[in-house]
Amino acid sequence: MTAAFVVRRMLTWFRPHRWRVVTSLLIVVISVPLGVVNPLLTRTVIDQGLLRGDVTLLTLLCALMVVLGIANSALAVGNVALTNSIGQRVTATLRASVYGRAQAQELDFYTEESNAEVQARLVSDIDGVDRFVTNTMQQALASSTALAAAGIAMLVLSWPLALLSFALAYVLALLNHRFAKRRQDLARQRQRHITSVLRFAAEDLNLGGIILGRTLHRTRWQRERFTDVCRQLSEITVRQRVVGATAYVITGVSFACVPPLVFWLSGTSVTGLSIGTVIVMVMLQLQLSQPIQALLQLSSGLHVSLAKFERVIEYLDMPAPMAVDGGSAVLAPSAGVSVTLRDVGHSYGAGGRTVLSGIDLELPAGSVTVVRGRTGSGKSTLGLVMAGLLRPAAGTVHVDGAGGAELRDVATIVPQHTTLFDASIRENLMFARDDVTEEDIARAIAAVRLDDLVAKLPCGLDTPIGVEGHQLSGGERQRLAVARALLARWQVLIVDEITSALDGVTSDEVYDGLRAYCQGRTLVIIAHRLPRIQPTDRVVAMEQGRIIERCRA
Rounded Cα distance, 65 and 33, in Å: 13
Long-range Cβ contact pairs of 16-19 (< 8 A, separation 24 or more): 16/93, 17/86, 17/89, 17/90
What is the end-to-end Cα distance of the chain in Å, rounded? 61
Looking at CATH, the fold of the domain delimited by 1-158+294-320 is given as ABC transporter transmembrane region fold (1.20.1560)
The pLDDT score that the predictor gives to residue 211 is 67
Same fold, 1-158+294-320 and 338-552: no
**Sign of the CA dihedral with 387 first, then 388, 392, and 397 last:** positive
Q: Where are the beta strands (DSSP E) in 364-513?
A: 368-373, 394-400, 411-414, 492-496
For residues 397 and 411, the answer to whether their CB atoms sit within 8 Å is no
DSSP 3-state of 362: strand
Residue 326: the pLDDT is 52
Q: Which residues pair with 524 in a beta bridge?
A: 369, 494
Domain ranges in the chain are 1-158+294-320, 159-272, 338-552
Taking only Cα atoms into account, the Rg of the chain, rounded to an integer number of angstroms, comes to: 34
**Residue 543 — φ and ψ, nearest 5°?**
-155, 125
Q: What is the pLDDT along the chain (553 residues), one digit of tens a residue?
A: 666 777 787 778 888 888 888 888 788 778 767 766 777 777 778 877 777 777 888 888 888 888 888 888 888 788 888 888 888 888 888 888 888 888 888 877 877 777 777 888 888 788 777 777 666 666 666 677 777 777 777 777 777 777 777 777 677 666 766 776 777 778 778 878 888 888 788 778 766 677 667 766 778 888 888 899 889 988 888 888 888 777 777 777 776 777 777 777 777 777 777 777 777 777 777 666 666 666 666 665 666 667 777 888 888 888 776 555 555 554 544 457 899 999 999 987 666 778 899 999 999 999 999 999 888 899 999 999 998 888 888 999 999 887 778 888 889 999 888 888 888 999 989 888 888 899 999 999 999 999 999 999 889 999 999 888 888 888 999 999 999 999 988 899 999 998 888 888 889 899 999 999 999 899 999 988 888 888 889 999 999 999 888 776 6
pLDDT at 332 (0 to 100): 45
User: What is the dotted CATH code of the domain comprising 338-552?
Assistant: 3.40.50.300
Amino acid at 321: P
Please tell me the predicted confidence (pLDDT) of residue 247. 73
Q: Helix, strand, coil proportions of the chain in percent (round to 5)?
A: 65, 10, 25
pTM (2 decimals)?
0.69
At 357, which helix (H) or strand (E)?
Answer: strand 354-363
The secondary structure element, H or E, covering residue 346 is strand 338-347
Give the DSSP H/E element, type plus range, for residue 524.
strand 522-527
